Amino acid sequence: MNVVIPTEDKQMQSIIEKVRHGQRLSLEDGVFLYQSDDLLTIGQLANEVNLRKNGKKVYFIENMSLYFTNVCEAHCAFCNFRKDEGEEGSYTLSGEQMIEYVEQHFHPGVREFHIVGGHNANVPFQYYVDSLSALKARFPEVTLKAYTAAEIDFFSRISGLTYREVLQELMKAGLQSLTGGGAEILSDHYRKKMRVDKADVSQYLEVHRTAHELGLRTHTTMLYGSIETKEDRIRHMMHIRELQDDTNGFQVFIPLSMQPINPRAGIRRRNSAFEDLKTIAISRLMLDNFQHIKAYFINIGVQLTQVALTMGASDAHGTIVKEKISHAAGALTPEGITREDLIWLIKGAGRIPVERDTFYNEIKVYE
């Protein structure tokens, strides 16, 4: 049991007592934690919660990120990945072209394809179904974790199908889990100001609710570090905590640190390490009904990911191979990482690396 550094602050003491007695933290508690500069107490408390839930195990997966198209009808203010149809650098791959790309990078240890892309209205919904079918036919043993809730909403609009019908069609083609993207900040005010012209808050949550009802286990994210308030972040966590109470369908929460559009942007345009660690720790404390909080090395870097494993994170993501979205936005981190490096990183934090599948079934424990 860790000893949290003694603090004289009454509200911090109250939060410590709540956490240790399994009581749920409130909006006010979460905002207070963000306002506090006592990172060590917050981090140790999150570590205590994580050890109680997961012991010293930290999970990772051998996966590949795939992007069938970067053509997108949306113009979100923070995105540098999207292109217009016909713009230089735009592309839309067929299933055969994607298989050709995968075969260049594939090895038998890969267990998951993580598939996201633009909202390309120049192709029909069937294109997105066929994309999954082609991969499933060629790589039947690899789990298809595909599309964001915002993409599902987009597919519903272009096809005229309900969310349930869209998901059922994709499941027939091989869909086994949804990615967590498209959440950004679950605040309609934020989404209007940041031109998030895709699924709104209620639609994002409804897609995941429907997926959970159909038996899909999904992921969920929060993109922080732009115009949102600390209260917006905590309300975001409370939205997904409430849905998790109803469905228990989320597997992991992934805080995503906003990247500046320009890779040459200075440190003042990036989230601080302090802010990144605090967000992971607060996520662990607020989301009492989530098993896992992920430290996403693509956004915060491998060394900070290692530190995050002692502040509430129990998942170090995966090998990825070649990440494009955060790097299009200016990420300075590696585009991928090897299994050996992930194991080294986790062991270096005094944790036990566990290779998992998409559903957190343990494949191999590296004692």
Write the DSSP symbol of residue 364.
E
Model pLDDT for residues 312-325, shown as the tens digit of each residue = 999 998 875 654 44
Of 257, 340, 263, the C-alpha closest to 304 is 257
Name the residue ranges covered by the structural domains of the chain: 25-357
Structure confidence by residue, pLDDT tens digits, 1-23: 455 556 668 999 999 999 999 99
Please answer whether residues 208 and 149 qualify as being in contact, where contact means their C-beta atoms are separated by less than 8 angstroms.
yes
CATH of domain 25-357: 3.20.20.70
Got the DSSP string for 13-49?
HHHHHHHHTTPPPPHHHHHHHHH---HHHHHHHHHHH
pLDDT band per the 50, 70, 90 thresholds, residue 337: confident
Average pLDDT estimate for 61-65: 90
Which residue, 320, 324, 5, 280, is CA-closest to 145?
Answer: 320
Q: Please provide the average confidence, as pLDDT, over all residues in the chain.
A: 91
295 pLDDT higher than 60: yes
pLDDT, residue 331, reads 46
